[in-house]
Amino acid sequence: MSKHKGISDLAKREERLAYWLLLPTFIILLVIAFYPLGSVFYNSLTNKVFASDQPVEFVGLENYSRLLSMTIRRLPPVLDASGNPEVNPETGEPVYARSLDVLPREPRRYREAMQFSFLGNRYVVGATDRDFVRGIFDTLRFTVFSVVLETVLGLGIAMVVNTKFTGRGAMRAVMLVPWAIPTAVSSRMWQWMFQSTRVGFFNVVFQGLGLIESPIPFLTEQTWQVPAMIAIDVWKTTPFMALLLLAGLQLIPGDIYEAADVDGASKLRQFFTITLPLLRPTLAVALVFRTLDALRVFDLFQIVLAQSRYSMASFTYYQLTNNRAMGYSSASSVIIFILIFVFAVVYIQLLGGVDAE
User: What residues numbered 78-107 form the site for other proteins, per CB under 8 A?
Assistant: none
Give CA–CA dist 117/75, Å, rounded. 10
Nearer to other proteins, 133 or 288 (CB): 288
Min separation Cβ 336 and other proteins, Å: 6
Is residue 201 close enough to count as binding other proteins by CB under 8 A? yes
The correct pick among 55, 92, 120, 182 for binding other proteins (CB under 8 A) is 182
Contact present, 306 and 286 (Cβ < 8 Å): no
Phi (first) and psi of residue 119, to 5 degrees: 50, 45
Q: Is 37 in the site for other proteins (CB under 8 A)?
A: yes
Say if CB 347 and CB 287 are below 8 A apart: yes
Q: Give min distance, CB of 286 to other proteins, in A.
A: 8
Residue closer to other proteins, measured from CB, 108 or 168: 168
DSSP string, 234-294: HHHHHHHHHHHHHHHHHTS-HHHHHHHHHTT--HHHHIIIIIHHHHHHHHHHHHHHHHHHH
Residue 143 has a CB neighbour count (10 Å cut-off) of 25
Near other proteins in 229-268, by CB under 8 A: 235, 239-240, 243-244, 246-248, 250-255
Q: Closer CB to other proteins, residue 158 or residue 226?
A: 158
H-run or E-run covering 229: helix 222-250
Question: Distance between CA atoms of 289 and 307, rounded to whole angstroms?
Answer: 26
Per rule CB under 8 A, is residue 190 in the interface with other proteins? yes
Smallest distance, Å, CB 33 to other proteins? 5
The smaller minimum CB distance to other proteins, of residues 130 and 324, is found at 324
From residue 133, give the alpha-carbon distance in Å to each of 128, 292, 341: 9, 19, 19
Q: Assess 133 for contact with other proteins (CB under 8 A).
A: no
DSSP states along 103-124:
S--SSS--EEEEEEEETTEEEE
From the list 14, 93, 106, 263, which residue makes contact with other proteins (rule: CB under 8 A)?
A: 14
Report the Cα 124 to chain-centroid distance in Å: 25
Q: Which is nearer to other proteins, 137 or 337 (CB)?
A: 337
Residue 216: closest CA among 195, 190, 199: 195
For residue 264, the minimal CB distance to other proteins (Å) is 16
Q: Which is nearer to other proteins, 128 or 183 (CB)?
A: 183
Rounded CA-CA distance 297/303 in Å is 11
181 makes contact with other proteins (CB under 8 A): yes
* Least CB distance to other proteins at residue 118 (A): 33
Instruction: Answer yes or no whether residue 206 interacts with other proteins by CB under 8 A.
Output: no
Residue in 205, 194, 217, 352 with CA at minimum distance from that of residue 282:
352
Instruction: Give the interface segment with other proteins, choosing from 59-67, 85-93, 98-106, 159-167 (CB under 8 A).
Output: 159-167
Report 275-314 residues binding other proteins (CB under 8 A): 281-282, 284-285, 288-289, 292, 296, 298-299, 312-313
